[in-house]
């Protein structure tokens, strides 16, 4: 399939899967129209890149459904000057979308093979404001904290205390929380004070588990 065919599928994907489901932030829509998802899936899955669902990637992990990526990005309420932490780099696709929505993106992936592949893909797409680190993202990335926004793309039993501590007051954290392999809810937590937070339930979802010290046992 040619670049032009992929481009046409991408524009259709944004119209049918994302705008039609109520995503309205023009910056999020523009970022989703711009990032070629086919370059972030495993080579054998390029033709399916605009499928309306998650797809398998290396190391038995997944690239999230495009609609969910857009929804999580919109829920972060980004204006463009923020420092964002992503936990769960996976393919690097969401990090590439975030790179168009924020000033700086720090992304942590616990599987070194995925962190390496994502680093190469992000470099190939000139996402120069994204840094990827291989490690346990349930502990955040303290050296670059505090963050205006944090997005966790794997589901934990609750929001890790380490991540809340690395969020600025007024900052937003979007994360799936719930059972390891069952019911989960996408939450937006706003840090309203030193020890205060507000939680909003956005959507029932199904994500791979967040492992690590403040997630599920590996």
Q: Which stretch binds ligand SAM (CB under 6 A): 8-16, 187-195, 197-205, 210-218?
A: 210-218
Instruction: Scan residues 82-141 and list those touching ligand SAM (CB under 6 A).
Output: 87-88, 90-91, 93-94, 108-111, 114, 136-138
- Residues taking part in catalysis: 64
| DSSP H or E stretch at residue 174 | strand 167-178
- Burial category of 3 from C-beta neighbours within 10 Å (exposed 0-12, middle 13-18, buried 19 and up): exposed
- In the complex, least distance from residue 187 CB atom to ligand SAM, rounded to whole angstroms: 16
Residue 207 binds ligand SAM (CB under 6 A)? yes
Region of 207 on the Ramachandran plot (φ > 0 left; ψ -120 to 50 alpha; else beta): beta
CB of 89 to ligand SAM, least distance (A): 6
In whole angstroms, give the CA distance from residue 92 to residue 216: 22
Residue in 13, 17, 55, 64 binding ligand SAM, rule: CB under 6 A: 64
Q: Which is nearer to ligand SAM, 71 or 110 (CB)?
A: 110
Contact yes or no for 53/39 (Cβ under 8 A): no
CA 206 distance to own-chain centroid: 14
Q: Considering only the stretches 23-31, 42-50, 61-69, 170-178, report the one whose residues sit in contact with ligand SAM under the rule CB under 6 A.
A: 61-69
CA atoms within 13 A on the CB side of 140: 20
Q: Which residues contact 65 (CB under 8 A, 6 or more apart)?
A: 52, 53, 54
Nearest distance in Å: CB 123, ligand SAM: 16
Query: Could you say which of 17, 99, 153, 184 contacts ligand SAM (CB under 6 A)?
Result: 153
Instruction: State the binding string over 14-53 for ligand SAM (x if CB under 6 A, else -).
Output: ----------------------------------------
Q: Is 51 helix (H, G, I), strand (E, B) or coil?
A: coil
- Among residues 139, 183, 179, 181, the alpha carbon closest in space to that of 157 is found at 179
**Applying CB under 6 A, which residues contact ligand SAM?**
61-64, 87-88, 90-91, 93-94, 108-111, 114, 136-138, 153-154, 207-208, 210-212, 215
């Amino acid at each position: 399939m040619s670049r032009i065919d992929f481009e046409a599928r991408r524009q259709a994907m944004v119209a049918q899967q994302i705008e039609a489901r109520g995503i309205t932030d023009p910056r999020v829509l523009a970022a989703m129209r711009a990032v070629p998802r086919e370059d972030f899936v495993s080579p054998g899955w390029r033709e399916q890149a605009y499928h309306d669902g998650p797809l398998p990637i290396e190391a038995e992990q997944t690239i999230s459904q495009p609609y969910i990526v857009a929804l999580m990005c919109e829920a972060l309420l980004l204006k463009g000057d923020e420092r964002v932490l992503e936990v769960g780099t996976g393919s690097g696709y969401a990090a590439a979308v975030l790179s168009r929505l924020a000033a700086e993106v720090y992304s942590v992936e616990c599987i070194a093979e995925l962190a390496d592949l994502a680093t190469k893909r992000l470099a190939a797409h000139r996402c120069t404001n994204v840094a990827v680190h291989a490690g346990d993202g349930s502990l955040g990335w303290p050296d670059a904290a505090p963050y205006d926004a944090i997005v966790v793309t794997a589901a934990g039993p609750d929001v890790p205390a380490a991540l809340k501590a690395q969020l600025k007051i007024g900052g937003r954290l979007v994360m799936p929380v719930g059972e390891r392999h069952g019911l989960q809810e996408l939450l937006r937590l706003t840090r309203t004070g030193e020890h205060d937070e507000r939680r909003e339930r956005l959507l029932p979802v199904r994500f791979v588990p967040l492992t690590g010290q403040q997630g599920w046992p590996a």
